[in-house]
Structure formats: structure tokens, C-alpha cells
Amino acid sequence: MPASADHSNMKPPLAPPLIAHRDEIARLCRTYGVDRLEVFGSAADGRFDPARSDFDFIARFAAVDGDSVARRFLAFADALESLHGRHVDLMTDHPIENPYLRRTVEATRRPLYVKPPAEAPA
């Protein structure tokens, strides 16, 4: 009898819309100066319900001369909602003060986009 595989460290699959739109999400991140985008909650832990769930994201924005983070934050949230056709909760990656929310976020957060390091000059 073959040995059974240990799946205890396997994460549940991401919500299907996130997988289907991965390239578009990366494009939006580049457009709005997002260095890192993570998802948490039901879309990250296997409980996503296409009929009722929203998306919960955490974004880290790069510093961009002449362009405020606030403007990019709001435009990025709108673009994510348009892409997915559903409500999006977007947070920045600043420390979460609420201990209950912090535990929930930390238990399920998963990276969706990480800006690749800049290539070294030739």
C-alpha cells in the first residue's frame, strides 16, 4: 500500500476569479504603483462563495513623485471592483491595531502580486 501524503501544510486554493484574473491583477498593480498585493479572508482560505463573498486585499504602495497614495488607493480599489464585478475591501499594509482583525488577517493572508526586483544594470 502506498504511503499517504501529508497534506497538512497545503493551503486551500485561491478563489477561482483571482486565478482567472491573475494577469489583469498584476497589470493593475503595475498601473497604480502597488509593490505587493495580498488577499485574505474567504477568497484565500477556501470559503469563497461566488454568490455572496467580496474580496479582501492588502496593498503596499510604492512612493511615486507627484502622485498621492490616496488617489492611487481609491482608483486601484475602483479598478479591482470593476475587474471582479463585486465589492472589494482594500487596506494598506500598515500595522493592524484591532487584535481580532489582525488575527483573522494573519491566519489567511496570501500574496497575489509581488513586484519583481529591478534588473541590475548591464
- The answer as to whether 118 is a domain residue is no
- The answer as to whether 80 is a domain residue is yes
- The answer as to whether 39 is a domain residue is yes
Q: Into how many domains does the chain fold? A: 1
- The answer as to whether 5 is a domain residue is no
- The answer as to whether 116 is a domain residue is no
Where do runs of H (alpha helix) occur along 4-119?
A: 16-20, 22-31, 42-45, 69-84, 99-108
Please choose, from the candidates 92, 86, 110, the residue with its C-alpha nearest in 3D space to the C-alpha of residue 32.
Answer: 92
Residue-wise pLDDT for 30-63, tens only, equals 999 999 999 999 999 999 999 999 999 999 999 8
Q: What are the residues facing 110 on neighbouring strands?
A: 39
Q: What's the pTM?
A: 0.85
- The answer as to whether 117 is a domain residue is no
Residue-wise pLDDT for 78-109, tens only, equals 999 999 999 999 999 988 999 999 998 999 99
CATH number at residue 40: 3.30.460.10
Cell of 106: 494573519
- The answer as to whether 9 is a domain residue is no
- The answer as to whether 97 is a domain residue is yes
Q: How many Cα neighbours within 13 Å face the side chain of 88?
A: 24
Could you tell me the residue range of the domain that residue 49 belongs to? 16-111
